[in-house]
């Protein structure tokens, strides 16, 4: 099956700093999503981005499908950005059976 690797595994920032999280995948995908799992365990949709670039407030994402990677940018980080960021992909064409990476644990200190 498809392999998903996220880096870095852990990231500690001071409030206000910018960061880039990376997701590499081993095969062509038809679906790629970024999620934020907050400290309460809730899984929040950030982006549905199988290709191209999207922005939502302080967050943006870029997927280069031909080179099999995606980047999540967080600007002017806030303490509420803390949690685990997951990249998930689906190589199929039927349904959304996602394969998740191991996540990046982000801690933003005040």
Partner 1 sequence: NAGVMQNPRHLVRRRGQEARLRCSPMKGHSHVYWYRQLPEEGLKFMVYLQKENIIDESGMPKERFSAEFPKEGPSILRIQQVVRGDSAAYFCASSPWGGNTEAFFGQGTRLTVV
Interface contacts to partner 1, rule CB under 8 A: 30-31, 33, 35, 41-43, 45, 48, 50, 86, 88, 90, 93-103
Separation of CA 88 from chain center:
8
Closest separation between CB of residue 97 and partner 1, Å? 5
Task: Tell me the closest approach of the beta carbon of residue 67 to partner 1, in angstroms.
Answer: 19
CB of 103 to partner 1, least distance (A): 6
Residue 66 neighbours by CB under 8 Å, 6+ apart:
none
Under 8 Å between Cβ of 104 and 9 = yes
Residue 75 or 91 with smaller CB distance to partner 1: 91
Q: In terms of CB distance, is 59 or 98 closer to partner 1?
A: 98
Closer CB to partner 1, residue 71 or residue 98? Answer: 98
Strand ranges (E), 9-93: 10-14, 19-25, 31-37, 43-48, 52-56, 59-64, 69-74, 83-90
Residue-by-residue DSSP string for 69-87: EEEEEE-S--GGG-EEEEE
Q: Give the nearest distance from C-beta 43 to partner 1 in angstroms.
A: 4
Nearer to partner 1, 41 or 110 (CB): 41
């Amino acid at each position: 099956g498809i392999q998903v690797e996220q880096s870095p595994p852990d990231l500690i920032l001071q409030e206000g700093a910018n960061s880039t999280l990376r997701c590499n995948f081993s095969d062509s995908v038809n679906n790629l999503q970024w999620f934020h799992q907050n400290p309460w365990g809730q899984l929040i949709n950030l982006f549905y981005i199988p290709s191209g670039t999207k922005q939502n407030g302080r967050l943006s994402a870029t997927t280069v499908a031909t080179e099999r990677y995606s980047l999540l940018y967080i600007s002017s980080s806030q303490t509420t950005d803390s949690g685990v960021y997951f990249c998930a992909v689906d190589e199929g064409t039927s349904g959304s059976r996602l394969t998740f990476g191991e996540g990046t644990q982000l801690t933003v200190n005040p």
